[in-house]
Amino acid sequence: MAQALVTGATSGIGRAIATALQAAGYDVFAVGRNQLALDELSRDFNIHGIKVDLADRTATAAALAGLEPDVLVNNAGLMPPLVPFCDTDPDDIDRAVAVNLTSVLAVTRLIAPGMRARRGGHIFFTGSTAGHAPFPNLAVYCATKAAVGAFGQALRLEMAAYGVRVTEIVAGRVETGLYKNLMTPEAREAMYAGNSAVQPEDVAAMVTAVLALPASVDVSRFDILPTHQATTTGARTTDK
């Protein structure tokens, strides 16, 4: 049975991808910090839970030792407080870079050599439109996602000769808990009102569709946006 490893799998996009891959026949390993959510995935979906803080490189290496996934989904990430960069707490900067970028590089470094040696596999990175267009009060988040996008595209060129595919998921407004602690419930409700957001299950469906393509086809990047989010900058279409 093909094996898949999904980070940030206890909620939102990661959870949707993990359960979709399990339904597609993969033996799924889900990485997260929420033990209750990992237990639920194990109980309800027969998914193996791995509790670890990806910002801890030593603990991550120990937790993933021996795994040889055919699919790696680097999804773990966080949103730092929505404030101007000059007002950002340095600790928030360090944490965002550690989780959104450094841990992605570290996990990929642990898994990618095995894929190269086996001459096959697929690596996904959950990026963001924020990595391809500027947003105020999101400078650090934009920087980490831009770096992930550039890394993914460079890695694709390095791994192509070994039959390893690499895909960046460029998500627009997705209804997840990413802003849960950063915005009021009213603000979040307004942001997602009128079915104006992509659902995590939509992203998961795209991932499984990409995986189902022939091995000769590599989708280097796919943008998935709400219908009315016409551009990566978030502009809406004009009502006619």
Question: What element of type H or E holds 61?
Answer: helix 57-64
Q: Which of 38, 15, 126, 24 is nearest to 79 (CA)?
A: 126
What distance in Å separates the CA atoms of residue 63 and residue 155, rounded to the nearest whole number? 24
Q: In which region does residue 211 sit, left (phi positive, over 0), alpha (psi from -120 to 50) or beta (all else)?
A: alpha
179 is catalytic: no
Residue 90 burial by CB count (10 A; 0-12/13-18/19+): exposed, middle or buried? exposed
Could you give the angle at which helices 139-159 and 90-97 cross, rounded to 10 degrees?
20
User: What number of CA atoms fall less than 13 Å from residue 187's CA on the CB side?
Assistant: 8
Among the options 141, 162, 179, 192, which is catalytic?
141
Give the catalytic positions in this structure.
Answer: 141
